[in-house]
């Protein structure tokens, strides 16, 4: 991949490009017309409206963030107003408390339990209503997902089901234990863009109705 992807207007949303579902997030943001930047170095974090820390393998991502010197820089930029969205492994990395192990980059007051549904074979898809995010039900993809077991002061629950929390937010952070980038829906990407102060060109279009090819993200693998 190249170090930058240019489209849309305004400060870009960055996608952490070290490991995980990078191309899929780029595809969804492009469909919204949002400017995007791939983030690989501390310098890539400058002048971003927001940063997506994608799903992948949280232990691997943590090591790479340390190796590339990005852990402290993300915290610094967050204090300066950078908005964050952690999906699945990304949510684990920025949780204040991880059950049974030390936290890594505690930027939202939640408690999270990794691999809470079981093995990869216990991955599943479903849908749910998230009224703050979209008026229509949103498809959900859970892959070896964690569960948010508690939220603290200043954190609001966006989606709760079957005794666990699947999505939550603070003023500066959004966390989802599922993978919105692996579904046709743009609802959560649009919600995060608006949280970052951006207005996607598709803001008035129901996100589920924007055409999607489930392999369209593969064009980024050729960059």
Cβ 62 vs Cβ 101: under 8 Å = no
CA atoms within 13 A on the CB side of 63: 5
Q: Are the CB atoms for 110 and 148 separated by under 8 Å?
A: yes
Is 181 assigned a catalytic role? yes
The catalytically annotated residue of 88, 169, 189, 196 is 88
From the list 117, 219, 101, the residue with the least C-alpha distance to 177 is: 117
User: Which runs of E-coded beta strand occur in 45-169?
Assistant: 50-53, 83-87, 95-98, 108-113, 124-128, 138-142, 147-151, 156-161, 164-169
Task: Return the DSSP state at 81.
Answer: T
66/150 Cα distance (integer angstroms)? 27
| DSSP code at position 175 | E
Query: Which residue among 25, 28, 179, 189 is the active-site one?
Result: 179
Which residues are 53's β-sheet partners? 86
**CB 156 within 8 Å of CB 174:** no
Q: Which residue in 24, 181, 189, 196 is the catalytic one? A: 181
Gyration radius (Cα) of the chain, Å: 16
Q: List, by residue number, the catalytic residues.
A: 88, 179, 181
């Amino acid at each position: 991949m190249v170090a930058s992807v240019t489209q849309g207007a305004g400060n870009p949303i960055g996608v952490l490009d070290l490991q995980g579902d990078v191309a899929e997030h780029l595809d969804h943001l492009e469909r919204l017309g949002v400017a995007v930047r791939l983030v690989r170095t501390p310098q890539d974090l400058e002048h971003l409206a927001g940063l997506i820390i994608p799903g992948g393998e949280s232990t691997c991502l943590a090591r790479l963030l340390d190796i590339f010197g990005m852990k402290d820089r993300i915290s610094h930029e967050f204090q300066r107003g950078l908005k964050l969205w952690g999906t699945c492994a990304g949510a684990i990395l920025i949780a204040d408390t991880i059950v049974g192990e030390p936290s890594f980059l505690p930027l939202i007051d939640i408690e999270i339990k990794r691999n809470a549904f079981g093995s990869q074979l216990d991955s599943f898809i479903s849908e749910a209503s998230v009224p703050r995010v979209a008026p229509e039900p949103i498809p959900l993809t859970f892959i070896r997902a964690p569960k948010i077991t508690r939220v603290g002061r200043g954190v609001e629950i966006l989606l709760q089901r079957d005794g666990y929390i699947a999505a939550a937010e603070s003023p500066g952070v959004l966390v989802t234990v599922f993978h919105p980038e692996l579904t046709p829906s743009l609802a959560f990407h649009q919600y995060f863009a608006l949280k970052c102060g951006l207005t996607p060109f598709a803001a008035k279009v129901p996100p589920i109705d924007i055409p999607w090819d489930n392999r369209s993200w593969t064009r980024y693998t050729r960059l």
